[in-house]
Amino acid sequence: MVVLDGENGRDFFSWLVHVKLSRIVLLVFIILLFTPLITHFYLSKVEKNSYFIEHGAHSHEDLPEDGYSFNKEDLRKGVEELLRIRGSVLSELRDIEKKRQQYKSEIQSYMRQLDETKQELAHQQTNLNRLKISVEQAQVAQREALQQNTPDLALPKRLTVDELPIVLPEISKSSSRKCRMHNCFDHSRCSLTSGFPVYLYDPDQYPVMNDGWDVDGFLKTTLKQTLGYNPHLTNDPKQACIYLVLVGEALKDTDDVTENVNNHLNLPALDSEALKRLPYWGGDGRNHVLLNLARRDLSSLSGDMFSNIDTGRSILVQSTFNFDLYRQDFDLIISPVLGPPGGDVWQECNPMLPARRHYLLTFQGEMKKPKTASYNPRNDDSEDNTELNRFILHHLNELSKTTTSDKFFFEFECNPASDNNLNTVIQDWALCGTDSSRRALLKDSTFVLIFAPGQQDLISTTLLQARVYEALRSGSIPVILGGDQIKLAYYEVIQWRRAAIFLPRHRITELHFLLRAIPDEDVLLMRRQGRLIWEKYLASVQSTLDTIVAVLRDRLNIPATPAETVAAVSVFNETFQPIQVTVASEVEQEESLGPLEPPFDSPAFRRNYSLALVQGTELWNDWGDPFRLYPTLPVDPFLSSDAKFIGSGRGFRPIGQGQGGSGKEFSEALGGNYPREQFTVLILTYEREQVLLDSIARLRGLPYLNSVVVIWNSPRPPSAELRWPSIGVPVHVVKAARNSLNNRFLPLDNLKTEAILSVDDDAHLRHDEILFGFRVWREHRDRIVGFPGRYHAWDINTKTSWLYNSNYSCELSMVLTGAAFIHRHYLHLYWKWLPQAIRDKVDEYMNCEDIAMNFLVSHVTRKPPVKVTSRWTFRCPGCPQSLSEDDTHFQERHKCINFFTQVFGYTPLLNTQYRADSILFKTRIPHDKQKCFKFI
């Protein structure tokens, strides 16, 4: 038995500390095992000796006589000795147990220290790997910077002339008829970097009408107001590229202010001498644009004011042209200005559903014979045309009487009491009914028949363009009989075949078959395209003037002016600087997720002069914007996969330098089809300061993070005592003009990356989740890519409306922007293109801005969002109550979906049945390989 005390105990303890764990445990086990056995053996031996003495005395006669008392005393002493030994053993056992517990506690402490050391080693190894990756990436960037042979291009400065047009001799009228852009336009005034400045002659200061005539007052006032919103307008004629002259619609200065020029054909309304007296006419009118904007006169040909006027080298813009007067790609055919000055026009449109309306085909109009001598057909086949027209009318009448299930409505004779039964019609077809009655019929028409002018030398008329305008406004697809003869407004940039059907007159018998051969999908596609054209280019005076300017600018391949951004005004004034503190992440990352690099911005305005060349058609006919120039677009093209290795590798970071790899190589480079980039975190907050600070702190050490932009929605400034976390990237706190959820999507001027991570201030996202979402977004740049999925469900009770649903489902149609990546371009569209009524509804409910963004992106792309990871919602324990916890929250979202559907004319949300997970997820891989993301 060993007793440990004093110096010997300390030596033994010192020895135990340095032995291995297994030996310590074995020694303790031996002590605990053999100590009771030894004690038991000793006690048994004492008892045996006592028993032998006690019983052996009876068999020995030579024992002393007082042996009994001796044995009793000896027994007492033996018992006491045994009790002493027992106490000593118990004391020793307690000491041993105490030391065993102490050793056990120390062993556990050493184990914890060992685990912490291992974790710290792994953490330091991860940081070391990060630093190695960062150094390697910095070296690659340095080599690229040294090897580049072209500088990064920013938007160039505007270069303009600084002199008035030089006066040149007049040209003959015959030479004027041969004008084209190459021989009648002064390109020196319109350099690529000029910005395309446009000067407007004040119609009151520079009248160009003959005595007794004047320009419609509505047009004069509206033109000056709406053109004032155009970014190309200049007040300096010396800098101007083109000069706009308003010459119509003209009214006779009589007691009847509505008396039109058509009733007085003896005297032309336009004064050619007044044109030549314009101060910047330059002798021949080069770079002048004469605007003949029709507003009332929809039934006549007199919209052509220039047939007998010497207009020199000026460009003619109007709705009525004949083949002899129209100069291809020089003059411009436009639609009459029948809409309001500007503003939201969605109320004018009708729902796009159902695809098949009550009537398959309708027509309202009356054929009239010309009553003026000015009707002089180009061809001498008027009898043939009359016979063809009779056959067409006969066929349509027979078509309406067939037993087919399709319904037709044809009205070939106007009501004598109709307000539009004009007496001085010089065109073969006149309108029937009032605007409201025609609109009611068009709302029930899948297709509407429109006749080309009977006069064969006409390429366009005001009436023709007006009927197309009415059809598109009501969602009825135009079917133009004689479509091979005419040109529609802005045809050089608008693909009208995507919105209208053009049919030669002689193919009238094929009409019914052709219309029935179009499936519902194409009907809706054409109707949707027609609404796009109508809203963007025809709906208002503002859109008409913007389109005229944009088409002329497009001819010269001059880029538009940059889209406006919102100035990011800091909540901190110049005299106050917020307190910044260095914080540690809540959870240290257990894997290397990418390099930590200094912030660098996404390249901007790199396609100023090539966008219209390679994507001009999409820019005008899809959901682009030909009126503004944006830094980047979600649909910007990307290089082929081998170009990054052959001549165009700058900025690219292929995985494993192109040979691929698993998780290790994956974490070292972004890979993909686009060059390296970063993203910006955009946070909207309102009076949850500590929650916000915690969210910002969790972003420390996040790779590919460019900056954090916080939109401070509260009217109260942040407390001066707040300790803002320093996370290694800039944190901008922007003051909002007012409390609005629409501020979540402000196109701020300090958003320097294409990728925007929109998050709520209480959203908890791990770093690997964020970076995985970022990598997925890079492959779906035109879509919303994020975490919380929702869907719109059909109300099976009412069967007429939608419901917002957040339950778990195998389909989803929305990804909430409380945690989602979106392209910066959609922030511009949200404020500049989305109808104001939707933003007003968001302010009314203080809700639904995320639904509005989903509607917008799905409407533009016709694609559903992309959900990543299994995340369905986010919870923030201990956070103050949010708006989404109110019982009325879901009721308002039901109403929002149905109201947005009404504004858009249909529900653009599309269902998807899959989510994105990481490659190698749940894949068994060799031990020497690493997954792309360990926990995703």
What confidence tens digit (pLDDT) does each residue in 46-86 have? Answer: 454 544 444 444 444 444 444 444 578 888 888 888 888 88
Q: Tell me how far apart the alpha carbons of residues 21 and 107 are, in angstroms, rounded to a whole number.
A: 8
Q: Each residue of 823-860: pLDDT tens digit?
A: 999 999 999 999 999 999 999 999 999 999 999 999 99
DSSP state of 563: P
- Report whether 666 contacts 653 (CB < 8 A): no
Burial class (CB in 10 A: 0-12, 13-18, 19+), 213: buried
Listed range (47-61, 480-494, 536-550, 655-669) with the worst mean pLDDT? 47-61
Q: Lowest mean pLDDT: which of 475-479, 527-531, 588-592?
A: 588-592
CATH 2.40.160 fits 346-538, yes or no: no
* 449, pLDDT greater than 50: yes
Report the alpha-carbon distance of residue 402 to residue 381 in Å, rounded. 32
Residue 570 pLDDT level (bands cut at 50, 70, 90)? very high
Among 251-260, 388-397, 421-430, 823-832, top mean pLDDT goes to: 823-832
pLDDT tier for residue 583 given thresholds of 50, 70 and 90: confident
Is a pLDDT exceeding 60 seen at residue 111? yes
Domain positions in the chain are 6-55+71-139, 173-333, 346-538, 579-638+674-916
Q: What is the pLDDT of residue 379?
A: 47
In angstroms, the CA 369 to CA 626 distance is 42
Give residue 383's pLDDT: 56
Which pLDDT score is estimated for 384?
63
Catalytic positions, written as ranges: 850
* pLDDT surpasses 80 at 424: no
Q: Tell me if domain 346-538 and domain 579-638+674-916 are identical in fold.
A: no
What's 170-215 look like in SS3?
CCCHHHHCCCCHHHHCCHHHCCCCCCCCEEECCCCCCCCECCCEEE
Residue of 867 and 144 predicted with greater confidence? 867
Residue type, 460: S
Across the range 131-157, mean pLDDT stands at 73
Task: Kindly report, residue by residue over 872-931, the tens digit of the pLDDT.
Answer: 666 555 555 555 556 788 899 999 999 999 999 999 999 999 989 888 777 777 877 888
Out of 205-209, 212-216, 345-349, 849-853, the most confident range is 849-853
Distance CA(575)–CA(81), nearest Å, equals 88
Which pLDDT score, from 0 to 100, does residue 577 have? 80
Lowest mean pLDDT among 139-148, 158-167, 342-351, 563-572: 139-148
Query: Between residues 800 and 552, which one has the greater pLDDT?
Result: 552
Distances, alpha carbon 395 to alpha carbons 47, 429, 516, in Å: 134, 18, 17
The pair of structure tokens assigned to 633 is 């677009």
CA distances, 475 to each of 277, 353, 355, 544 (Å): 45, 9, 10, 19
Q: Which residues contact 879 (CB under 8 A, 6 or more apart)?
A: 688, 691, 762
- Rounded Cα distance, 833 and 827, in Å: 10
Q: Is the pLDDT of residue 665 over 60?
A: yes
Share of the chain residues as helix, strand and coil, in percent rounded to the nearest 5: 40, 15, 50
pLDDT at residue 584 tops 90: no
Q: What is the pLDDT of residue 543?
A: 94
Whether this model's pTM surpasses 0.85: no
* pLDDT value, residue 905: 93
**What pLDDT sits at residue 406?**
92
pLDDT computed for residue 253 by the predictor:
53
* pLDDT for position 44: 58
- Burial category of 298 from C-beta neighbours within 10 Å (exposed 0-12, middle 13-18, buried 19 and up): buried
Question: Above 60 in pLDDT, residue 237?
Answer: yes
Query: Which of 764, 778, 780, 930 lies closest to 863 in space, CA to CA?
Result: 780
CA–CA separation, 287 and 186 (whole Å): 6
Whether residue 4 has pLDDT greater than 50: no
Indicate if the pLDDT at residue 641 is higher than 50: yes
Rounded average pLDDT over 700-713: 95
Q: Are 505 and 482 in contact (CB under 8 A)?
A: yes
Q: pLDDT at residue 483 above 90?
A: yes
Which of 96-110, 356-370, 591-605, 663-677 is least confident?
A: 356-370
Superfamily of segment(s) 579-638+674-916: Spore Coat Polysaccharide Biosynthesis Protein SpsA; Chain A (3.90.550.10)
Cβ atoms 200, 244 nearer than 8 A: yes
**Residue 581 in this model has a pLDDT that exceeds 90:** no
Question: What is the structure's pLDDT at 881?
Answer: 53
pLDDT of residue 888: 85
Over 70: is that where the pLDDT of 40 sits? no
Mean pLDDT check: name the lowest of 30-39, 125-134, 733-742: 30-39
pLDDT of residue 878: 52
SS (H, E, C) 34-56: HHHHHHHHHHHHHHHHHHHHHHH
| Res. 660: pLDDT tops 50 | yes
pLDDT for residue 257 is more than 50: no
Label residue 784 by pLDDT band (50, 70, 90).
Answer: very high
Could you tell me whether strands 819-823 and 785-786 are parallel, antiparallel, or unpaired per DSSP bridges? antiparallel
**CA-closest candidate to residue 753, choices 629, 853, 603:** 603
Q: Which of 359-368, 379-388, 782-791 has the highest mean pLDDT?
A: 782-791
The share of the chain scoring above pLDDT 70, in percent, equals 82
Average predicted confidence (pLDDT) for the chain: 84
